[in-house]
Structure 1
Amino acid sequence: MKPQKIFFLFPLLFLLSFKIIGANDTLIKKQNKKTPVFSNVIYQGNDNIYRNNPLKPDEFYSPILQGCYPDPAITRKGDDYYMVCSSFAMFPGVPIFHSKDLVNWTDLGGVLNKVSEFNPHDTGISQGVYAPGITYNPHNDTFYMIVTAFSGGLGNIIVKTKDPLKGWGSPIKLAFDGIDPCIFFDDNGKGYVVHNDAPDKGKELYQGHRVIKVWEYDVENDKVIPGTDKIIVDGGVDLSKKPIWIEAPHLYKKDGRYYLMCAEGGTGGNHSEVVFVSDSPKGPFKPASNNPILTQRYFPKDRADKVDWAGHADLVLGPDNKYYGVFLGVRPNDKDRVNTGRETFMLPVDWSGIFPVFENGLVPLEPKIKMPKGVIENKTGKDGFFPNGNFTFTENFTAQKLDYRWIGLRGPRESFALVTKKGLEIKPFEVNIKELKPTSTLFYRQQHNTFSFSATIDYKPASEKYLAGIVCLQNEHFNYVFGVTKKGKDTYILLERTEKGQSKILASTKIDIKKNIRLQVKAAGDSYEFSYALNGSDFVNLGAPVSGDILSTNVAGGFTGALVGLYATAANDAQPQ
């Protein structure tokens, strides 16, 4: 093309670009009208167990992390304790907490918080990452977090940092299969990785037969040393009894001997913690004669205030020079269903003999334990410390940074959530809650069996393709949607139940929103009620109470607890009746 022709096109290109920019501005304005703004969110937990068991000045509650915070692992550097948990397809991955005393914990967010390095965008909610280990290595003053990632072809990975308060390095892929890895550093600085794996090919004896392997670890190059792997536990404590799912191994050294502690029995009613001893980190390991050292499997299923499934534990030396163990457990509701998921509990550990034993870990678990000697104040729920027991969480979205308790699913919350002067604006994705994709939903874990969750929404849906409201979710195939949408020229509120991927409208009604609408879900055990208020205070139930069965792992399966979220979509398929 000749230069003069190019010059002639400049005015035309300028006019075209001006029109395109103008069109884009118009589009943006239309999108903003379809964008809901959430404000004044209140979560309130009110379980009987806490009302009936008030704390004394020297006590704190267990679980220490309520809701879906399973598979805890813990480490210590000086006076600082760091604890990590599983997060599956929630984002960011691997929540991490910090404490100075094992009682009062600060939420530090997630270890894996970069989509470029951890991207569970196409995984089921129970995939992603789980069963992390965290270990401080005093020989190089470095923290290591090791975990199995079921997304993006990562497999087993390890990340490092000198200071967990300042973030973590990029994942390093490790060349071994299996799950539940943990890294251990000996007194001489040598590293070892232990993990759960399948038996050698052709040697699987029964369903659930697993083994524990150990590898030598190259600390300089951050890799397991090829050819050093060895099976150190085959099946479990007693192979002749066909134990299932030996997993979650942790290595410790005490008084010159090596201890291997593992979960056995599978996450469920037969879950337990067992321990072995050896004179070498590579075995042979001999099981303790008093195994299991922690379990709840021996007690009546209908006992009051039941805590169940105890296991998957880790040990740490406390501030009083006494050992403590963190482990997972569940608190079923009145229908014996698990809606709050697997939570993080704590007990003191007696290690005055050869083997560690969880104190009161072989009797029905109590909701309270004594604070370590020297800890003078329980500050949970105050001064920025993570709450437990019964508490109220109020979110006005006035802080520039969202509380870490708000999470995304399969992607970062920052991709759809924006804090504005009026509240939290959620840009709706063209994805609904039933799809295996990142959703435009800001989630909060259900942390009590009896709770309420309410939010005010400023929203005028543009068409039936748009919906905003509250979602209660166990996974993409099992959930409730309670939201505002359009039918023709009219605005409706509806309640949809999805079970096994099949959706049904339970109730809907036409409404006239003058300014905004307040939505609320209340649960009392298995009974959930959904209500709305057009004047901010006088709530009207939408339909009858419904069962929380589909929000339980008993019905929906998987490994996660129920989530309640602020939801918006531009791909709504729930139509009012």
Structure 2
Amino acid sequence: MRYSNPVIKGFYPDPSVCKVEDTYYLVCSSMQYFPGVPLFESKDLINWKQIGHCLTRASQIQLDQVNSSGGVFAPTIRHDNGRFYMTTTNDTTRQNFYVWTDDIYGEWSEPIFVDQQGIDPDLYFENGKTFFMSNGKDDFNIDGIVQCEIDIRTGRKITPSRTIWTGTGGRFLEAPHMYKINNKYYLVAAEGGTEFGHMVTYACGDSIHGPFKSYPHNPVLTNRNMGGYHIQAVGHGDLIEDNNGHWWMLHLGFRQSGQWLPYHHLGREVFLTPVTFGDDGWFTAGDNGVTRTFFETDRIPTAVVQQDKQRYTFENTNWDKDWCFLRLPHKQNYSLEQNQITLKGTEISLDQADSPTFIGIRQKDFNVSISCNVNLTIGESGITIYMDEHHHYDLAIRYDGGVYKLIERINIGDVKTIMNEIALEGSNHATLIIRSSNERYTFLAHTNDKEILLGTAQTKYLSSEVAGGFTGVIIGLYAYGKDSLAEFTKFNLEYL
């Protein structure tokens, strides 16, 4: 069959995967968004269904006033002796921790912290022992991939943290994962930074402690030399074996806006690439070490059909799975019903690294039409195309000097301005409409039986190449201002 990449679209970076019986489970980073660490399941590796989050309580993760692209970094999911474990880093507090559950559809435990530096932690279980890895400095001040043995019940270190591999010389050695395959230990990592030079590298050894010999043809997977190609920044991969003995890698990458438009605003996404082991024990990945938009494979039955949801509404989404908040939400300001949202604004704006009244859903493709009916009582409410507190485009209704107005606001770094405003004629409601292509957002409103064009803005100013950071565009519904109150109905997000 032929499948297309990415297999999970939109801002879902740093994937990690495990398999229990015939089901695969996958987690991703969530940064400053809450709930934290989206959790997916699949039967075939290409169709993924979100089943929840790992961090659903304020007691599990400190997100108060963290800057964008702070918070929850690079999780790993593993299963041992009937129990699931998810380990991750709160990069803002510089703490590594893990949580666990015996019910993958239920709640996860309170965090258990591990006293080891670095980010991108990994857990490896063998013969009743648990090994914890991250990048950074070990207890002897040596940089690299760092490992210690821990007591899985408490997180207490049993052995000192020691560097077991220093990579191949690429910058930002990170994302370590350990596997035992055919009595050999494989240490997979990422180098080059999670940008256009990103790559997957690995090494092999006879002991979990090393020494590790680098694969002679590293990097095993990278698109760094594919100038103008749709998929870039391939790296940060996790290996998984399917039920038929075939190996795969789930990894991140991003889709740039166009062949000669080296910008990405949808975020880092989840890609699936075939892996093949040779007789010499080394493995290769992808199409001669490259990840493609499409792969033809006989590893997945032809009866499997890759699904691609095209339309999202209030009615066909789940508030606890598909939607997210900025940092820890003030729940009293949200009324979430099956077909309507009521938002109460505060004096916290979208321009602050705080928790404005905001609920969002990830943008998953370039070409999309978004519409929603907004009924405002007072203050300001609307739709935001949100990258971070310094980079977002807002289409809203605002109560100003006794008059309701439609506004289009552009926020790009230090440039923050209302590009257009139009008075609503005797009304406090309108249908707000945003249409997107690879290169541009278009802002419109429908009121009094006519459609009004307010303006356009380029997508590239919401890209990581301009804004910085590690997130992607979130389509948000928001309310702002003391005593602000608004109702949102007939939300429709449709990919074209």
TM-score, L = length of structure 1: 0.79
Secondary structure at the aligned position of 2:461 is classed as: helix
Deviations 1:333-382, CA, capped at 9 Å, x for gaps: 0332111010000011112431222131624612355474447332624x
Matched, 1:548 2:465: no
Matched, 1:451 2:368: yes
Deviation at 1:269, TM superposition (A): 1.4
Contact 1:64 1:344 (8 Å CA) reproduced:
yes
Contact 1:432 1:569 (8 Å CA) reproduced:
yes
User: For the residues of structure 2 that align with 1:416 and 1:79, how far apart are their CA atoms?
Assistant: 41
Q: Which residue of 1 aligns with 2:275?
A: 349
Contact 1:432 1:571 (8 Å CA) reproduced:
no
The counterpart of 2:86, out of the listed 145, 149, 152, is 145
Matched, 1:95 2:38: yes
Q: Which residue of 2 aligns with 1:206?
A: none
Contact 1:92 1:412 (8 Å CA) reproduced:
no
Q: Which residue of 1 aligns with 2:216?
A: 289
Q: Which residue of 2 aligns with 1:426?
A: 343
Deviation at 1:270, TM superposition (A): 1.2
Deviation at 1:256, TM superposition (A): 1.0
Contact 1:95 1:111 (8 Å CA) reproduced:
yes
Contact 1:275 1:355 (8 Å CA) reproduced:
no
| Identical positions, percent | 29
Secondary structure at the aligned position of 1:116 is classed as: helix
Q: Which residue of 1 aligns with 2:239?
A: 315
Contact 2:344 2:483 (8 Å CA) reproduced:
no
Deviation at 1:159, TM superposition (A): 0.6
Deviation at 1:414, TM superposition (A): 4.2
The counterpart of 2:311, out of the listed 377, 392, 400, is 392
Matched, 1:495 2:408: yes
Query: Which one is further off, 420-429 or 336-345?
Result: 420-429
Name the one with the larger strand percent: 2
Q: Which residue of 1 aligns with 2:494?
A: none
Matched, 1:168 2:80: no
Q: Which residue of 1 aligns with 2:492?
A: none
Deviations 1:22-61, CA, capped at 9 Å, x for gaps: xxxxxxxxxxxxxxxxxxxxxxxxxxxxxxxxxxxx3332
User: For the residues of structure 1 that align with 2:256 and 2:172, how far apart are their CA atoms?
Assistant: 22
Matched, 1:526 2:439: yes
CA 419–222 in structure 1, closer or farther in 2 if over 3 Å, else same: same
- Superposition pairs for residues 66-465 of structure 1, below 5 Å? 66-137=9-80, 140-151=81-92, 153=93, 155-186=95-126, 188-198=127-137, 210-227=143-160, 229-234=161-166, 236-237=167-168, 239=169, 243-299=170-226, 301-303=227-229, 306-334=230-258, 335-353=261-279, 354-360=281-287, 362-363=289-290, 365-370=292-297, 372-374=299-301, 376-378=303-305, 380-381=307-308, 387=309, 391-396=310-315, 402=319, 404-412=321-329, 414-420=331-337, 423-461=340-378
Residue type at the aligned position of 2:55: L
Secondary structure at the aligned position of 2:465 is classed as: helix
Matched, 1:566 2:477: yes
Secondary structure at the aligned position of 2:46 is classed as: coil
CA 214–516 in structure 1, closer or farther in 2 if over 3 Å, else same: same
Residue type at the aligned position of 2:357: S
User: For the residues of structure 2 that align with 1:154 and 1:160, how far apart are their CA atoms?
Assistant: 20
User: For the residues of structure 2 that align with 1:268 and 1:515, how far apart are their CA atoms?
Assistant: 44
User: For the residues of structure 1 that align with 2:467 and 2:473, how far apart are their CA atoms?
Assistant: 10
Query: Which one is further off, 213-222 or 554-563?
Result: 213-222
Deviation at 1:116, TM superposition (A): 2.3
Q: How many residues align?
A: 481
Q: Which residue of 2 aligns with 1:37?
A: none
Deviation at 1:542, TM superposition (A): 0.4
CA 421–183 in structure 1, closer or farther in 2 if over 3 Å, else same: closer
User: For the residues of structure 2 that align with 1:73 and 1:496, how far apart are their CA atoms?
Assistant: 37
Higher relative contact order (CA 8 A, sep 6+): 1
Matched, 1:516 2:459: no
Query: Which one is further off, 92-101 or 511-520?
Result: 511-520
Contact 2:9 2:269 (8 Å CA) reproduced:
yes
User: For the residues of structure 1 that align with 2:267 and 2:146, how far apart are their CA atoms?
Assistant: 29
* Structure 1 alignment gaps of length 5 or more: 1-57, 204-209, 382-386
Residue type at the aligned position of 1:315: L
Deviation at 1:478, TM superposition (A): 1.1
User: For the residues of structure 1 that align with 2:214 and 2:460, how far apart are their CA atoms?
Assistant: 39
Deviation at 1:395, TM superposition (A): 2.5
Residue type at the aligned position of 2:255: R
CA 156–363 in structure 1, closer or farther in 2 if over 3 Å, else same: closer
User: For the residues of structure 2 that align with 1:103 and 1:498, how far apart are their CA atoms?
Assistant: 36
Deviation at 1:512, TM superposition (A): 2.2
Deviations 1:248-271, CA, capped at 9 Å, x for gaps: 000000111111000011111111
Contact 1:531 1:541 (8 Å CA) reproduced:
yes
User: For the residues of structure 2 that align with 1:372 and 1:441, how far apart are their CA atoms?
Assistant: 42
Deviation at 1:154, TM superposition (A): 6.7
Deviation at 1:245, TM superposition (A): 0.9
CA 523–215 in structure 1, closer or farther in 2 if over 3 Å, else same: same
CA 82–407 in structure 1, closer or farther in 2 if over 3 Å, else same: same
* Structure 2 alignment gaps of length 5 or more: 485-496
User: For the residues of structure 1 that align with 2:8 and 2:333, how far apart are their CA atoms?
Assistant: 27
User: For the residues of structure 2 that align with 1:165 and 1:67, how far apart are their CA atoms?
Assistant: 23
Contact 1:413 1:442 (8 Å CA) reproduced:
no
Residue type at the aligned position of 2:368: F
Deviation at 1:419, TM superposition (A): 2.7
Contact 1:347 1:361 (8 Å CA) reproduced:
no
Deviations 1:503-546, CA, capped at 9 Å, x for gaps: 1111111112547311111111121110000147x421103x22
Contact 1:212 1:249 (8 Å CA) reproduced:
yes
Q: Which residue of 1 aligns with 2:488?
A: none
Name the one with the larger helix percent: 1
User: For the residues of structure 2 that align with 1:571 and 1:372, how far apart are their CA atoms?
Assistant: 57
User: For the residues of structure 2 that align with 1:161 and 1:421, how far apart are their CA atoms?
Assistant: 29
Residue type at the aligned position of 2:149: E
CA 361–171 in structure 1, closer or farther in 2 if over 3 Å, else same: farther
User: For the residues of structure 1 that align with 2:122 and 2:223, how far apart are their CA atoms?
Assistant: 25
CA 473–513 in structure 1, closer or farther in 2 if over 3 Å, else same: farther
